């Protein structure tokens, strides 16, 4: 069966520091991968999605970036965090046919 893992689960970072969140999917090949952000009391905001290695589409211009160095690995990064980057970050995957989307456990980021 397919599983998705995301880490770290929680982190507190100072303003201006870098960020790296990592996500891996097991049990499937060539998945579509997504990064979402959910601010406190808000809905899910799609940040990036990827349909293959090195193929990244950005939905919202900001100081975040994403990379997909391997088929089942998706990384969210920032060189300098802002206070507004605080939130709940969710990695997700769907099969190549984009039928259903499944979420990882999520990462709570607090920028102080």
Name the residue nearer to another protein (CB basis): 80 or 105: 105
x-or-dash pattern for another protein, window 7-46, by CB under 8 A?
Answer: ---------------------------x-------xxx-x
Our finding on whether 96 is near another protein (CB under 8 A) is: no
What gap in Å lies between CA 31 and CA 52, rounded to an integer?
Answer: 7
Within 10 Å of residue 46's Cβ, how many Cβ atoms?
A: 15
Interface residues with another protein (CB under 8 A) are 34, 42-44, 46, 49, 59, 90, 94, 98-106, 108
């Amino acid at each position: 069966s397919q599983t998705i893992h995301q880490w770290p689960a929680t982190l507190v970072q100072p303003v201006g520091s870098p960020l790296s969140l990592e996500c891996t999917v097991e049990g499937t090949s060539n998945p579509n991968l997504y990064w979402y952000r959910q601010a406190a009391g808000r809905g899910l905001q799609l940040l990036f999605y990827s349909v293959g290695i090195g193929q990244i589409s950005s939905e919202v211009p900001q100081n975040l970036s994403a990379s997909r160095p391997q088929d089942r690995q998706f990384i969210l990064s920032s060189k300098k965090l802002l206070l507004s980057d605080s939130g709940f970050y969710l990695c997700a995957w769907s099969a190549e046919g984009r039928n259903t989307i499944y979420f990882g456990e999520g990462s709570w980021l607090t920028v102080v």
